[in-house]
Structure 1
Amino acid sequence: MARRPRYQPALSIVTGASSGIGAAFARALAARGSDLVLVARREDRLLALARELEQPHGIRCTVAPLDLSRPGAGAALLAVLDSRLDGRVPDLLVNNAGFGVQGRVADTDPARLAEEVAVDVAAVVELSRTFVAPMIARGSGAILNIASTAAYQPVPGMAVYAASKSFVKLFTEALWFEARPHGVTVFAVAPGAVASEFFDRGRRIPAPTPYWDPARIADAGLRALDRRRTPPEVMPGLANRAAAFSTRFIPRRVLLFFAARLTATLLAVL
């Protein structure tokens, strides 16, 4: 039986591309011959990544140093495409940008929490809305949103992060249903613990499953696209799937205590 050809987008947008899962997606997509729009705040890192990828893979990288915590990210990104890429509609949008603040809500700077919601929730909605419309009009395209196994339970000590990923999960499922009849693929990749700079101030917390290399997450997402018919959520790793599935059968209070212990904040929260 012949193998299905790999998904090879001509143009991909990757947010949060300066490190971690975003950089891993950029490298994997470059290896597939996709031109890239690299989005993050740290322009120096984006330029370094662009230099790393362009010549070896014969692609074009467009660097877009944007702060996704500010309103208007979709319009700003459209302006980049219009001015530097002749208004090309991307074949793939990877909504990866995000971060997690650790600590009690009552002890956290309100501005920092607002920024977390803006990046992890509002920017996902804004960018998805910005690009799903032209994809539907064209009759093709894909949007991949990065969720998390944290979406399956409340997490004291990372309350906003877990809630934001639950939002991303449910938003993606609904958008999957809406876009599917029009030839547009929408799905979420829900990794467990990932070895990256993701967490606020780079602190790594205990996790119920092993930390994964970001490249494995990117590979799982692209392999899902290779299958052409993706479910609304892809969760890499049997241990991650088992842990997420088990939350359906554990009383909420027990989940709260367990999650609090994992974030090493139980004594502070009680």
Structure 2
Amino acid sequence: MTRGNSAGFGVHGDVVDADPGRLHDQCQLNVTALVDLTRAYLPGMTGRGRGVIINLASLSAFLPLPHMAAYAATKAFVLSFTDALWVETRHSGVRVLALCPGPTDTAFHAATGSDDGSFGRHRSPEQVVDTAFRAMERDVSRVVDGRLNTVSSLLARLLPHRVTLALGERSMRPTGSARAAEPPRRPLSQ
């Protein structure tokens, strides 16, 4: 039995301007529903000694994203949760994977309200699925889809935090945004 937790959506724009209900729904679906579904199916899988859980995280799980702050935070949760679950299930026969695609050629970006190309080059859904299947053969806790996305995820961890914030802001800035594009001027706590 394979279960993929891939339902989710993103709210594009600044938190101050966002509909509170949409933000709440996004967190409920991207975090709470994923945990609830995992908990619902995991006992049966561990009882049988086999199964696969693939949780759809995102490249955005690796860094804060201004203009998609809550979305990136939910995906960071998915990545952390899945890494821990991978360890918890190591000897149960159940395989667990966090799949971290970058921009993918789906309706996701149009649904966020910003299908304007600001997300960069898109990969195909077939490429993302192939990446997941190859990762399942290697029994790893996480995989980033695509070379450029893999490099981006590594840079997000290696570059100074202020630089990653500035890059994230630039990549997610809504077209025609009047908001300041500067990174914070005071030191950020870790």
- Report TM bin, short chain: 0.7 to 0.9
Corresponding residue for residue 141 of structure 2: 232
Corresponding residue for residue 203 of structure 1: 115
For residue 204 of structure 1, report the CA deviation from its aligned partner.
4.3
Of 255-264 and 185-194, the range deviating more from structure 2: 255-264
Corresponding residue for residue 129 of structure 1: 39
For residue 264 of structure 1, report the CA deviation from its aligned partner.
2.0
Q: Is the 8 A contact 1:156 1:269 kept in 2?
A: no
TM-score by length of 2: 0.87
- Aligned-residue sequence identity (percent) comes to 37
Give 1:247's match in structure 2, choosing from 156, 160, 172.
156
Query: Alignment length, in residue pairs?
Result: 177
Corresponding residue for residue 184 of structure 2: none
Corresponding residue for residue 35 of structure 1: none
In our comparison, the structure showing a higher alpha carbon Rg is 1
For residue 201 of structure 1, report the CA deviation from its aligned partner.
3.3
CA-to-partner distance for each residue in 1:35-56, whole Å, 9 max, x for gaps? xxxxxxxxxxxxxxxxxxxxxx
For residue 248 of structure 1, report the CA deviation from its aligned partner.
1.6
Give the distance between the partners of 2:134 and 2:167, measured in 1 at CA.
Answer: 33
The residue matched to 1:244 in structure 2 has which SS?
Answer: helix
Give the distance between the partners of 2:15 and 2:149, measured in 1 at CA.
Answer: 27
TM-score by length of 1: 0.62
Where has structure 1 moved over 6 Å in runs of 4 or more? none
Give the distance between the partners of 1:107 and 1:171, measured in 2 at CA.
Answer: 29
Relative contact order: is structure 1 or structure 2 higher (C-alpha 8 Å, sep ≥ 6)?
A: 2
Q: Specify the code of the residue in structure 2 equivalent to 1:175.
A: L
Q: Specify the code of the residue in structure 2 equivalent to 1:211.
A: H
Q: Is the 8 A contact 1:205 1:263 kept in 2?
A: no
The residue matched to 1:151 in structure 2 has which SS?
Answer: helix
Q: Could you say if the C-alpha distance between residues 216 and 94 of structure 1 is closer, same or farther in structure 2, counting changes exceeding 3 Å?
A: same
Corresponding residue for residue 185 of structure 2: none
Q: Could you say if the C-alpha distance between residues 202 and 257 of structure 1 is closer, same or farther in structure 2, counting changes exceeding 3 Å?
A: closer
CA-to-partner distance for each residue in 1:158-178, whole Å, 9 max, x for gaps? 001111110000000000011
CA-to-partner distance for each residue in 1:64-111, whole Å, 9 max, x for gaps? xxxxxxxxxxxxxxxxxxxxxxxxxxx000110011110110100100
The residue matched to 1:182 in structure 2 has which SS?
Answer: coil
Unmatched segments (≥5 aa) in structure 1? 1-90
Corresponding residue for residue 221 of structure 1: 132
Give the distance between the partners of 1:119 and 1:204, measured in 2 at CA.
Answer: 25
Q: Is the 8 A contact 2:12 2:114 kept in 1?
A: no
Matched, 1:170 2:48: no
Matched, 1:268 2:175: no
RMSD over aligned Cα atoms = 1.6
For residue 182 of structure 1, report the CA deviation from its aligned partner.
0.7
Give the distance between the partners of 1:141 and 1:152, measured in 2 at CA.
Answer: 27
Unmatched segments (≥5 aa) in structure 2? 182-190
Corresponding residue for residue 51 of structure 1: none
